Structure formats: structure tokens, C-alpha cells
Chain A
Amino acid sequence: MTQATYKLNQLQHYYGDKRVLDIDGLQIQKGSITGLTGPNGSGKSTLLKIMAFALKPTAGEVWFNGRREVPLSPRVRSRVTLLTQKPYLLKRSVFDNIAYGLKIRRDRDNLDNRIKEALASVGLSYDGFAHRQ
């Protein structure tokens, strides 16, 4: 049997006194697609934030690729990405917004061309948009 990408044990999270998450156990296998359903306030976003290592659970463990991990751990920081429902654009140019993730990973090779490609993939020209604020 292959190792689970995610393994959650006895996970609980509270906002103040209110418990929003209580999961005894959950495993997500590599390459699988998992959907989360539930009414408003049932903890879907909280669970995603915990799984993206952007939020520390009140109690419980999150295992990623066989290791117990915590938020901001260098091992998971650049490997797990959460695409949020409401995008936040940094107060800087389009170029700098796109390059931010690469720059903090110190991945600056061929930056101009990669940004040109990223802009082209959404139908925007580099010359027209890259340096807009």
C-alpha cells in the first residue's frame, strides 16, 4: 500500500470557545482527488488552511508524506500551496506579484520569460501589463 500524502489524527480546532473542527482521522492518498462538502461554518476553509500549513490546529497532528509537520516548516512551505477563494494582490507591479513566489524560493532563473509565459497563458501581453501597478 502506498504512503498517504496527508494523514490527520485527532484534529481539533477552536475559534475562542467554539469548536469548528473535530476529525478523528483522515487520510488522503497521493494522486487522489478529494472533495469537501458542508454547510457554511462547518470548517471546510479551516481544514484547508490547516492542511496548507497556514494555520496551527488547536489539537491534533498533521502528517505530510510520512512526517509530522507544523506551519511554516521549511519542508512543507514551498511544497503545499493553497489557492484562496478571494485572491489578494500585493501593492506592487503585476510583474512583482507574479514573481513573488519565485523570488522567495530564490528561483530567479529566466524570470522575465517565465513571467511572459504566465501572462500569455491568461491572454495578457508582457509589454502591456507586466509593469502596471
Chain B
Amino acid sequence: MDFIVAGFIKAIELLINFDHSTYTAVSATLQASTCSMLISLGAGLPCGFLLGYFNFKWKRPLRTVLDTLLALPTVSVGLLVYAFISSQGPLGQFGLLFTLTGIAIGQTILAFPIVTAITASIVENIDPELKLTLVSLGAGKRNIIMTCLWEVRYGLLAAAVTAYGRVLTEVGISMMVGGNIKYHTRTITTAIALETNKGMFADGIALGIVLIGIAFAVNISLSFLRKQ
């Protein structure tokens, strides 16, 4: 039990003393996850809307594929991205391996199906009376789309939080694509894995507390937005 208590004390010390390695890991985590979430939301919300709102021939098979991708193992994504951006891969010339951009690409692949699939489910379940009401009130196509999205805003927020939770806590992509380079691509999760392997439980717990703190702060902010 002592090492757990020591971990909490160390966590407070690291944060109060602005420990450089802790803050660079936090910064790397936030940079990669924010970038991947912005891209996933920007692409996933419209794709999810189209998939949920319109009926077309390949809709069911596409939904099945997307639902399967919800359970994508992070190491598989890491391996795939690694294969593409390593020096021998088709995107090797861009030098993305062991960079935060590389991690963000992998995390985008992880988050995109989550945002798209949840958005599609939410849009599919919109009450059919809503569209009829909007059309009968004189709404045009743009108004219908924007109002439908606004009506399901809390569900979309939940999609974003779910995807962010997955991105924030993944280890596989950050480890394989980022390489866990100190002060550069070391994220909170890869740092926890490393510190625990070294037997430095206190440091691991400290970083774990920071990670939970970030997740908590994000949820509090969204909850505040929801009340507004």
C-alpha cells in the first residue's frame, strides 16, 4: 500500500514543481489528442449524418464495417500506420514516424469510426416527425440539416466524449508510431507504461492521476456547456 500513497504524494510534488518530463508528456498527449479529435469530428460528424440520414444501396454493409471498426485494437492501428509512414512505407518520405503528427494520424483512424458510427445511430433515431414538422414550417434543406444536428447535440457531445476517452487513453499507437521518445513523443500513457516497467510506481501513479484529471476536466467542461 505504501507505494500507492507515495504515488499520490509524488504526483502532487511533480505537478507543484512543474516537473519538465511530466509537463512535456501532458503537452504531447494534449497536442496529439486535440489534433486527432478536431479532424475526427470535422470528418466524422458530416459522414455520420449522411450515413444516418440517407438511405442508399450499401448502407447496411457500410454500417457493419463501421461498427466493427469501433473495436479496432490500438496496436493494429499502430502497426498499420507504422507500415505506411516508416521509411520503407508509401508515406515514408514525409518523415512522420516518431512524431506527434504520426500519433495524431493513428488516433484519428481510431476516433473517426467512433464519431461516425455514433453520429449515424443518433441521426437514424431522430423522430421522423421532426423532419415533417420542419418541412411544414417552411425549412429548407440547410435549415433541416442544421436543426436536426442541433436537436441531437447532446448525443453528438456524447460521441465526442467517447472518442476522446478512447484517444486519450490509448497506448498502442503512441508507443508504436511515437516511439516513446522523452521530451518529444512521450505521452502520458506511454510514460506510465515505461515508469511501471522500471518499477517507478510513484511516477506512474502521478501520471495516471494527471490523465484522470484531464478526462475529468473535459467532462466537467462539456457538462457545463450542456447546461448552457
Contact = CB atoms under 8 A, between A and B. Distances in A.
B151 A90 contact: yes
A interface SS class = loop
Interface residues of A, number: 24
Interface string B110-130: 000000000000000001011
Contacts of A54: 131-132, 135-136
B68 interface: no
B203 to A, nearest CB: 46
B168 to A, nearest CB: 29
B151 A53 contact: no
Interface in B92-148: 127, 129-133, 135-141, 143, 147
B137 A52 contact: no
Given A90-B151, A101-B138, A105-B138, A82 B132 contact: yes
Interface string A66-88: 00000110100110111110111
B136 A104 contact: no
Contacts of A100: 137, 147
B140 A88 contact: no
A87 B143 contact: no
Contact of A104 (B129, B130, B137): B137
A84 B128 CA distance: 12
Interface in A1-58: 49, 52-54
Interface of A: 49, 52-54, 71-72, 74, 77-78, 80-84, 86-88, 90-92, 100-101, 104-105
A104 B135 contact: no
B interface SS class = helix
A53 B137 CA distance: 11
B136 A83 contact: yes
16 contacts: A49-B132, A54-B131, A54-B135, A71-B135, A81-B136, A81-B137, A82-B136, A88-B132, A88-B133, A90-B130, A90-B151, A100-B137, A101-B137, A101-B138, A104-B138, A104-B139
A43 to B, nearest CB: 16
B225 to A, nearest CB: 15
Interface string B147-160: 10011010000000
Contact of A91 (B132, B137, B141, B151): B151
A88 B135 contact: no
Contacts of A82: 132, 135-136
- Of B129, B133, B151, most buried by chain A (CB within 10 Å of CB) is B133
A77 B129 contact: no
Contact of B129 (A74, A78, A81, A86): A86
B137 A88 contact: no
A88 B138 contact: no
A72 B136 contact: no
